[in-house]
Amino acid sequence: MTAITALATVGQMAAVFLGAPWVIGMMRQVRARMEGRVGAGIGQPWRDLRKLLHKQQITPTGTTAVFAIAPAVVAGSTLLIAAAIPLITTASPLDAAADLFAVVGLLLIGTVALALAGLDTGTAFGGMGASRGIMVAALVEPTMLMAVFALSVPAGSTNLGAIVSTTDAAPWLALSPSALLSLAALVLVIVAEAGRLPVDNPSTHLELTMIHEAMVLEYAGPRLAVVELASGMRLTVLLALLVNLFAPIGIAGPEAGVAGVLVATVVIVVKVAALAAALAFVEVFLAKLRLFRVPELLAGSFVLGLLAVTSAYFFAGAGS
Amino acid sequence: MITDVSTVIGAGTTPPAGAAAPFTYPPATHLWAAEPPTPAAAPSFLARVLSGAATVAIGATGIAAGTAAMIGALHPVTLDWAVPLVGVDLDLTPLGGLFALLIGIVAIPVGIYTVGYARTQHMGRFSLTVLPIFVAAMLLVSAAGSVPTFLFAWELMAATSLVLVWADHRRPAVPQAGVFYAVLTQLGFMLILLALVLLAAGAGTDNFADIAALADTLPGWTRSTVFVLTLIGFGSKAGLLPLHAWLPRAHPEAPSPVSALMSGAMVALGAYGLARIGLQLLGPGPRWWGLCLLAIGAASALFGVLSASVATDLKRLLAYSTTENMGLVAVGLGVAMLLASSGRIQIAAIAATAALLHLVAHAAFKTLGFLSAGAVLASTGERDLDRMGGLVHRIPATTVLFGIAALGASGLPLGAGFVSEWLLLQSLIHSPTPNDPLLALAVPMTVGAVALTTGLGVVVMVKAFGVGFLARPRSAGAADPLPVPRSMLAGMSVIAAACVVLAVAPVVMSPALTSALRGLRVNAAPLGPVLLRLPGVAGTVAPAVLGAGLLIAVLLVVLISRHGIRTRPKPVTSPLWACGADGLTPRMQYTATSFAEPLQRVFDGVLRPDTGLELDRHPGSQYVIAHAAYRARQRDVIEEHGYTPVLRAVRALAQVVRRAHTGSLHLYLAYGGAGLLTVLIVSLVASR
The tens digit of pLDDT for each residue in B171-189 reads 888 888 888 899 889 999 9
Bond into B76 cis (ω within 30): no
Out of B418, B557, B574, the one facing A61 most closely (by C-beta) is B574
Lowest-confidence range among B218-232, B309-323, B342-356? B342-356
- Given a cut of 90, whether residue A151 has pLDDT beyond it is no
- Given a cut of 50, whether residue B531 has pLDDT beyond it is no
- Given a cut of 70, whether residue A316 has pLDDT beyond it is no
CB contact, 8 Å: B186 with chain A?
Answer: no
Residues 227-246, chain A, touching B (beta carbon < 8 A): none
Highest average pLDDT, of A48-62, A279-293, B111-125, B628-642, comes from A48-62
Asked if A64 lies within 8 A of B470 by C-beta distance, the reply is: yes
What mean pLDDT comes out for the span B27-39?
52
B447 touches A171 (CB < 8 A): no
Out of B439, B456, B571, the one facing A138 most closely (by C-beta) is B456
Best mutation target, B429, B433, B545, B594, to test chain A (most A CBs within 10 A): B429
Among all residues of chain A, which has the CA nearest to that of B583?
A123
Best mutation target, B338, B419, B462, to test chain A (most A CBs within 10 A): B462
Confidence at B13, pLDDT banded by 50, 70, 90: very low
Lowest-confidence range among B5-19, B248-262, B387-401, B419-433? B5-19
- Given a cut of 80, whether residue A207 has pLDDT beyond it is no
Can you name the residues that pair with B313 across neighbouring β-strands? Answer: B384
CB contact, 8 Å: A163 with chain B?
Answer: no
DSSP state letter for A39: -
Out of A98, A108, A124, the one facing B588 most closely (by C-beta) is A124
Q: What distance in Å separates the CA atoms of residue A9 and residue A161, rounded to the nearest whole number?
A: 12
The shortest C-alpha distance from A260 to chain B (Å) reads 26
Which residues in chain B are contacts of A162 at CB distance < 8 A?
538
Among all residues of chain B, which has the CA nearest to that of A77?
B550
Confidence at B537, pLDDT banded by 50, 70, 90: low
Best mutation target, A51, A120, A134, A311, to test chain B (most B CBs within 10 A): A134
Out of A57, A83, A134, the one facing B571 most closely (by C-beta) is A57
The shortest C-alpha distance from A35 to chain B (Å) reads 31
Asked if A146 lies within 8 A of B597 by C-beta distance, the reply is: no
Instruction: Tell me which long-range contacts B582-585 makes (C-beta under 8 A, separation of at least 24).
Output: B582/B18, B582/B19, B582/B20, B583/B16, B583/B18, B583/B19, B583/B20, B583/B21, B583/B23, B584/A122, B584/A123, B584/B16, B585/B15, B585/B16, B585/B19, B585/B23
In sign, the C-alpha dihedral spanning B597, B603, B605, B606 is negative
Which residues in chain B are contacts of A116 at CB distance < 8 A?
462, 465-466, 470
Q: What is the largest CA-CA distance in chain A?
A: 62
The shortest C-alpha distance from B393 to chain A (Å) reads 8
Residue A237's pLDDT is 94
Residue B10's pLDDT is 35
CA atoms lying within 13 Å on the CB side of residue B154 = 28
What mean pLDDT comes out for the span B156-160?
93
The shortest C-alpha distance from A18 to chain B (Å) reads 12
Asked if B539 lies within 8 A of A309 by C-beta distance, the reply is: no
- Given a cut of 70, whether residue B6 has pLDDT beyond it is no
Confidence at A320, pLDDT banded by 50, 70, 90: very low
Among all residues of chain B, which has the CA nearest to that of A299?
B602
Asked if A317 lies within 8 A of B12 by C-beta distance, the reply is: no
Q: What distance in Å separates the CA atoms of residue B407 and residue A126, rounded to the nearest whole number?
A: 21
Residue A47's pLDDT is 94
Percent of chain B with pLDDT over 70: 90
CB contact, 8 Å: A1 with chain B?
Answer: no
Confidence at B554, pLDDT banded by 50, 70, 90: very high
Residue B28's pLDDT is 60
Distances (CA, A) of B151 to B140, B155, B163, B194: 10, 6, 18, 11
CB contact, 8 Å: B173 with chain A?
Answer: no
Average pLDDT value over all residues in chain B: 84
Q: What ipTM describes this predicted complex?
A: 0.92
Residue A27's pLDDT is 93
Among all residues of chain B, which has the CA nearest to that of A65?
B392
- Given a cut of 80, whether residue B415 has pLDDT beyond it is yes
- Given a cut of 90, whether residue A314 has pLDDT beyond it is no
What mean pLDDT comes out for the span A219-244?
92
Which residues in chain A are contacts of B445 at CB distance < 8 A?
306
Asked if B440 lies within 8 A of A106 by C-beta distance, the reply is: no
**Helix axes B125-143 and B45-70, enclosed angle (nearest 10):** 10
Q: What distance in Å separates the CA atoms of residue A115 and residue B459, rounded to the nearest whole number?
A: 10
CB contact, 8 Å: A73 with chain B?
Answer: yes
Residue B527's pLDDT is 45
The shortest C-alpha distance from A234 to chain B (Å) reads 14
Q: In this structure, are strands B572-574 and A58-60 parallel, antiparallel, or unpaired?
A: parallel
CB contact, 8 Å: A94 with chain B?
Answer: yes
Q: What angle do CA A260, A263, A267 make, to 5 degrees?
A: 135
Residue B300's pLDDT is 94
Single-letter code of the amino acid located at B597: E
Single-letter code of the amino acid located at B357: L
Residue B271's pLDDT is 92
Distance of alpha carbon B386 from its chain centroid, rounded? 22
Q: What tens digit of pLDDT does each residue of A66-76 get?
A: 999 999 999 99
Out of A76, A142, A157, the one facing B538 most closely (by C-beta) is A157
Query: Comparing B194 with B624, which gets the higher pLDDT?
Result: B194
Residues 607-626, chain B, touching A (beta carbon < 8 A): none
- Given a cut of 50, whether residue B525 has pLDDT beyond it is no
Residue B33's pLDDT is 43
Highest average pLDDT, of A190-194, A249-253, B319-323, comes from B319-323
In sign, the C-alpha dihedral spanning B593, B598, B600, B601 is positive
Residue B20's pLDDT is 47
Out of A57, A317, A318, the one facing B568 most closely (by C-beta) is A57
Which residues in chain A are contacts of B447 at CB distance < 8 A?
145-146, 149, 309
CB contact, 8 Å: B433 with chain A?
Answer: yes
Q: What tens digit of pLDDT does each residue of A11-21 get?
A: 899 999 999 99
Asked if A64 lies within 8 A of B393 by C-beta distance, the reply is: yes
3 state DSSP class of B261: helix
Q: What distance in Å separates the CA atoms of residue B430 and residue B439, rounded to the nearest whole number?
A: 11
Asked if A96 lies within 8 A of B531 by C-beta distance, the reply is: yes
Confidence at B38, pLDDT banded by 50, 70, 90: low
Which residues in chain B are contacts of A48 at CB distance < 8 A?
none
CB contact, 8 Å: B596 with chain A?
Answer: yes
The shortest C-alpha distance from B427 to chain A (Å) reads 11
Confidence at B15, pLDDT banded by 50, 70, 90: very low
Highest average pLDDT, of B115-119, B662-666, B680-684, comes from B680-684
Out of B455, B470, B578, the one facing A139 most closely (by C-beta) is B455
CA atoms lying within 13 Å on the CB side of residue A9 = 19
Single-letter code of the amino acid located at B253: E
In sign, the C-alpha dihedral spanning A44, A46, A50, A55 is positive
- Given a cut of 60, whether residue A307 has pLDDT beyond it is yes
CB contact, 8 Å: A60 with chain B?
Answer: yes
- Given a cut of 60, whether residue B379 has pLDDT beyond it is yes
B174 touches B243 (CB < 8 A): no
Which residues in chain A are contacts of B434 at CB distance < 8 A?
316-318, 320
Asked if A109 lies within 8 A of B412 by C-beta distance, the reply is: yes
φ, ψ of residue A261 to 5 degrees: the values are -65, -40
CB contact, 8 Å: A10 with chain B?
Answer: no
Residues 258-297, chain A, touching B (beta carbon < 8 A): 291-292, 295
Lowest-confidence range among A171-175, A188-192, A216-220, B671-675? A171-175
Q: What distance in Å separates the CA atoms of residue B664 and residue B675, rounded to the nearest whole number?
A: 17
CB contact, 8 Å: A40 with chain B?
Answer: no
- Given a cut of 70, whether residue B532 has pLDDT beyond it is no
- Given a cut of 90, whether residue B243 has pLDDT beyond it is no
Out of B425, B539, B569, the one facing A159 most closely (by C-beta) is B539
CB contact, 8 Å: A159 with chain B?
Answer: yes
In sign, the C-alpha dihedral spanning A163, B540, A101, B304 is positive
